[in-house]
Amino acid sequence: MIGPGQTGVYFALFTEIGFILLVTTLAGALAGLRSDIGRDRAAVGGAAGRADRAAVDLGRLRQRLEDLDRRAVAAALAGEKARRDLLRHSNAQLAALDPQATLSRGYAVVHKGGRVVSSVSQVDSGDALIVKVADGGFPARVAAPGSRRRRRQTATPHRAEPVEAPIDDDRPKPRKGVQAALFP
């Protein structure tokens, strides 16, 4: 029991005990806060490290994307050039195979009854023909039966010398600088 003069001592003792408890509680709380701060600092450090690595990865990915973009543009340009070259080549082939271009080089197309004549066996003496040339066409009549030229034999190992066909004296001679008919 506390007597009348002892209240101050007890009060001081309880105050000191309360202060010690308060300091101990605060020290525990401070230790917990320090632990939380350490854990949070480690988490922040880990996140910062991951962010740094991600920034490096992002830089590499950006560089790779720029490289792929450059390669894609170069491939598209090369493909376009290849298509243009193919188109030029195809146009040249079409021009070379154009029937009008063939006629312009001095050839003619002979028709009988609306069909192209491709063999002397298709015409007889007196047949009416249409001869198409570069700048038009004209009618013609077969005066004499045609003769077939002999085919070369491809099985012979040596090359045959060209045989000059005798020229009829009554046929007109080609003018100088004009090509004679290939198969008279």
Reported confidence tier of residue 116, pLDDT bands at 50, 70, 90: very high
Percent of the chain with pLDDT over 90: 30
pTM for the whole structure: 0.40
pLDDT band at 20 (very low <50, low <70, confident <90, very high): confident
Mean pLDDT of 131-143: 92
Please give the pLDDT value at position 87.
95
pLDDT of residue 82: 95
Mean pLDDT, the chain, whole residue set:
80
Q: In sequence order, what are the residues at sequence separation of 6 or more whose Cβ sits closer than 8 angstroms to the Cβ of residue 130?
A: 110, 111, 112, 137, 138, 139, 140
d(CA 123, CA 117): 8
Which whole number is the average pLDDT over 104-123?
91
